[in-house]
Structure 1
Amino acid sequence: MKQKLLVAALVSSGLVSPLAHATNGMNLEGYGPIAAAMGGASMAYDNGTAAVMNNPATLGMMKGDAQLDVAVGVLGPSITAKAGPMVADSSATAFYMPAVGYARRSGQLVYGAGVFSQGGMGTEYGANTFMAAGSGQNVRSEVGVGRVILPLAYQVNERFTLGGSVDYVWAGMDLKMAMPAMQMAGLATGGSLLPGLGAAVGAGATWGRVDFSDSSAFTGAAKGSGYAFKLGGTFKATDKVTLGATYHSKTSISDLTSSAALSLGNAAGVMQNIVGSISVHNFQWPETYGLGMAVQATDQLMLVADYKRIGWKSVMQNFSMSFTSAAGNVNFVLPQNWSDQDVFEFGGAYRMSDALTLRAGVNIANNPVPNSLMNPLFPAIGKSHETVGASYAFNPVSSLHFNYVYMNKVTATNAQGVAVDFGGFSSQLLYSHKF
């Protein structure tokens, strides 16, 4: 089992890894164990400091003057690639995720800070599997995005709260990708090295590789950063019904850059190996619209429902990168053509006693990745999830929250006949203290 450390902590910690196996495209299905236990629904009720990732306006519902949340989570994806009788299991099966968040009230204002892992993708296949394309080296991917978030919520009156945040966004990527040499030449769109790629194929090259990786559990080799913002609001329509809405802007992340190597070879060994640098162009996180409702059906039972529209289409049309070296340059474009994603989140919370609350929910979404273009290194094809969780209050200021998400297995087959099975689970445990 390969273990990766994913850290979402306060800015001062400096220990942050944005990588995650995500399940709504590249997003996690829920942020924070309270929301994640109810299918990810989070627009219209108090779900702790995870509000900075969900709807910042719900920070206005915080009880007490201040709140500190400390969590640890685990993501356990199960990914298998198949091509006829050949099978490759991804060894990236355990991802650990500590988290910390803080918020404070001052009159009608609530402010705070947080650092959160947004999501991403990642796999690792062995050197002796068909995914290595005969290169004799392992292949892997790590893609992650994280945010440093500064939120502010303002309670306009007893019914209406507005919120927003300014987000510093960073992205990291590792890629050790192998493919048939002819396919690599076909993905090249120009550059002075392009004739050389064709010549290598003509001379007997059967595989090609692009490699950039720092093998770190905390960062990707190719790095970029930028900014985004969120807006949100909640409205208490009646004493029992609260409505919520949010807008997350598209990011403005710089190109991701790293040292890299481009190589071609055949069964006899490496024919060409060129060292240079790589730039991944216009890798962005999409805008998201969210609407939700929370209904306090009885004193014990709360029901919640959210809808999200995630704009993958505008940011995942192509995966574009440029390789530059002293010997020349070449550009690659891998078509993606993702569609926008509709996510439906439903859940409920039942207060068994003053101390114990039980939760359950479902998260249902369409797969935004076209089957024909699905890459086994980036299988963001999850669709449906069942969620459960619980909270236990030790006293009025200290409580423990837990959730478990089961990711139903989904299978997609691309135009080359490679099928991927994707499933698994995720879980979080969070301690919350109010001041």
Structure 2
Amino acid sequence: MKNKLITPITTGLLLAIASQSAWAVSDVFRFVGHGPISAAMGGAGTAFDVGAAGMLINPATLSMTPEGSDFHFGADVIFADLLIKNTETGEVARSKTHSKNRGPYAAPQLAYTYHGGPWTFGVGLFPQGGVGTEYGNNSFLSRATGGLDTGLDNASRLLTLNIPFAASYEVNDKLAVGASLDAIWQGLNLGLLLGADQVGSLIGSGRADGSLVPVLGGLPDLRGAHLGFIKNQPVASGADAWGIGGRIGLTYKVSQDTTLGGAYSFKSHIDDMEGDATLTAVDALVGQVPLKGKVSIRDFQTPAQLNLGISHQINAQWMVAADISRIFWKDAMENIDVGFVADNGADIDILLPLNFKDQTALSLGAAYQTGKWTLRGGARFTTQALPSNTLLAVTPGITTRFGSAGFSYQFSPKSKVDLAWTRSFKKKMGNDRLPNTSAPISAEHGQDSIGLAYNYMF
């Protein structure tokens, strides 16, 4: 039923989404900026007009939009460069396109806003974040303990779509307040092979239990276990769920040229993602033993976030802006909590540790207007949220430095196009610790994103 709901919403309104071979340009699971205006200015957007995308940053900025209706249609296209290296053997696994739902990653944007008098209302469809990796089934990541080739894939695709219903109100000529309530859909594809040493580490530390644990331990020569739930479709995922989220915000004009902004996004409340899955025990003597059943990814939430921002209009042409954000990952991402129940009733529960740290991000941007053109540039710097000893090859969210540029072109008073380019500069991180890796690995990740949107005002 869930897939039947999400498919017409997304494919009926926008482009299909195909996952790419690495994380979207983001801080961990979240995109850098929402909409091309914010993205081109390093992700800043709390204290100036970023158009309809303000619904996902600071809904009070909707009061800065022109009077009347505005239709927003756009997409981000992401190109990734991700490499995982076995530091013992020198072997390399690159994330590439190996199946039909992992081509260039196109993330859609669609929104409508209406500004009349002191009130502005908006509704939209925006991606909040995501991940996609595809290492195929013949790299060192697909070898179980003892070098046993399995032919099983290692891949991931997480997509979070927000459907915000937002409103803002101009209290007076200085103060505006806003809020949004979001319907959230979240879908996950996963193919993950754990070596026997990883399975043993999880059991020994109390992170794996259930009636399937002694079954795995009773195999004559267990080399690993693989969990897979993947749908090769543009949006529909192996496991998915619906939930709610939202945010509140305000803007305050200190002077005619300077505006302060603040916004708080609440931690999401998304149901456990559920779907059909196969757990495959890999044994050197009896071969592969697949068990079909149901998987649950429990309490996988998007974190709360606090944004504080300032914008200053230097003159008729130049505007500068800055945001500082605190993202509360620690409360949202302690573990990946996986439950599997086989069709015969046997079960296993696994806690893969993440232990994310809260993250601070600084976004800086500038805009220059001349004639019908507005040129933009920016940068973003973040602290590292992911400890190296919990790095997973299928979830390498490690980039911390970003550069951006873009422009708007006003075709007429009613229509314009916005474009942004964002570069996440290459970052390296290593992990040689159980249970999240068997072989010692280093991850190297860089990425480019291009965002394009068309706005029509009437």
* TM-score between both structures, scaled by the size of structure 2: 0.89
Q: Do residues 344 (structure 1) and 323 (structure 2) align? A: no
| CA distances 1:37-71 after superposition (whole Å, capped 9, x unpaired) | 00010001111100111110000001131111111
Which stretches of structure 1, 4 residues or more, deviate above 6 A after TM superposition?
6-12
Pair 1:57-2:48 in alignment:
no
What is the alpha-carbon distance in structure 1 between the residues aligned to residue 127 and residue 8 of structure 2? 6
Among candidates 64, 69, 73, match of residue 66 of structure 1: 69
CA contact (8 A) 1:7 1:98 kept: no
| Structure-2 separation of matches of 1:103 and 1:376 | 40
Amino acid at match of 2:78: L
The Cα shift of 1:15 comes to 6.7
Farther off after superposition, 213-222 or 309-318: 213-222
The verdict on how the C-alpha distance between 1:72 and 1:306 changes in structure 2, with shifts beyond 3 A counting, is same
Higher mean Cα deviation, 13-22 or 272-281?
13-22
**1:329 aligns to 2:347 (yes or no):** yes
Q: How does 1:265-276 map to 2 (within 5 A)?
A: 265-266=282-283, 270-276=287-293
- Output the CA distance in 2 between the equivalents of 1:190 and 1:385: 41
- The Cα shift of 1:97 comes to 2.5
- 1:99-135 deviations in whole A, cap 9, x for unaligned? 2211002221100110111102110102110111221
Q: 1:242: how far off?
A: 0.3
Deviations 1:307-329 (A, max 9, x none): 11101000111111111121511
2:264 is equivalent to residue 247 of structure 1: yes
Which residue pairs with 2:3 in the alignment? none
Q: Given residue 392 of structure 2, which amino acid in structure 1 is its aligned partner?
A: N
Asked if the contact 1:10/1:100 (under 8 Å) is kept, the reply is no
Instruction: Give the match for residue 155 of structure 1.
Output: 170
**C-alpha deviation, 1:269, in angstroms:** 7.0
Distance 1:411 1:147, change over 3 A: same
CA contact (8 A) 2:67 2:116 kept: no
The correspondence for 1:198, drawn from 210, 217, 225, is 217
Matched, 1:363 2:366: no
Corresponding position of 1:315: 332
Question: Which of 91, 103, 121 is residue 111 of structure 1 equivalent to?
Answer: 121
Indicate if the aligned counterparts of 2:417 and 2:454 stay in contact, CA closer than 8 A. Answer: yes
CA distance, structure 1, for counterparts of residue 66 and residue 163 of structure 2: 24
SS at 2:242 equivalent: strand
The root-mean-square deviation of aligned C-alpha atoms, in Å, is 2.0
Q: CA deviation at 1:196?
A: 1.0
SS at match of 1:197: helix
Q: List alignment gaps of at least 5 residues for structure 1.
A: 1-5
Deviation at 1:345, TM superposition (A): 0.1
Corresponding residue number in structure 2 for 1:410: 427
Residue 374 to residue 10, structure 1, CA distance change in 2 (3 Å):
closer
- Residues 185 and 211 of structure 1, relative CA distance in 2, 3 Å threshold: farther
Residue 364 of structure 2 aligns to a residue in which SS?
Answer: strand
When residues 16 and 146 of structure 1 are mapped into structure 2, their CA distance, relative to the original with a 3 A threshold, is: farther
Measure how far apart 1:184 and its partner are.
Answer: 2.2
TM-score by length of 1: 0.94
Matches within 5 A, 1:375-394: 375-394=392-411
| More displaced stretch, 225-234 vs 258-267 | 258-267
8 Å CA contact retained: 1:72, 1:98? yes
Residue in structure 1 matched with residue 157 of structure 2 by the alignment:
142
Aligned-partner SS, 2:38: helix
1:3 maps to which residue? none
Residue of structure 2 equivalent to 1:257: 274
CA distance in 2, matches of 1:287, 1:272: 41
For residues 316 and 49 of structure 1, do their structure 2 counterparts lie closer, same or farther at Cα, with a shift above 3 Å needed? same
Tell me which moved more, 297-306 or 271-280: 271-280
CA contact (8 A) 2:258 2:313 kept: yes
Q: How many angstroms apart in 2 are the aligned matches of 1:25 and 1:349?
A: 27
For residues 114-193 of structure 1, what are the structure 2 equivalents within 5 Å? 114-133=124-143, 134-188=149-203, 189-193=208-212
Identity of aligned residues (%): 29
Write the distance in 1 (CA, Å) between the matches of 2:313 and 2:432.
48
Note if contact 1:18-1:171 (Cα within 8 Å) is conserved in structure 2.
Answer: no
Aligned mates of 2:249, 2:8 — CA distance in 1: 22
Closer, same or farther in 2 for the Cα pair 1:385/1:115, shift >3 Å?
Answer: same
Matched residues, number: 427
Query: For the residues of structure 1 that align with 2:121 and 2:251, how far apart are their CA atoms?
Result: 16
- Report the alpha carbon displacement of residue 150 of structure 1 after superposing the two structures with TM: 0.2
Q: How far apart, CA to CA, are the structure 1 residues paired with 2:245 and 2:153?
A: 35
1:102 aligns with 2:112: yes
CA–CA distance in structure 2, aligned partners of residues 120 and 413 of structure 1:
22
- Relative to 1, partners in 2 of residues 1:424 and 1:55: Cα closer, same or farther, differing over 3 Å? same
- Distance verdict in 2 for CA 1:140–1:12, change over 3 Å: closer
- Aligned counterpart in structure 2 of residue 303 of structure 1, from 308, 316, 320: 320
User: Tell me, what secondary structure is at the counterpart of 1:385?
Assistant: strand
Are 2:429 and 1:429 aligned? Answer: no
Residues 55 and 18 of structure 1: CA distance in aligned 2, closer, same or farther (over 3 Å): farther
Aligned partner of 1:28 in structure 2 is 31
3-state SS of paired residue (2:374):
strand
Task: Say whether the 8 Å CA contact 1:167–1:228 is kept in structure 2.
Answer: yes
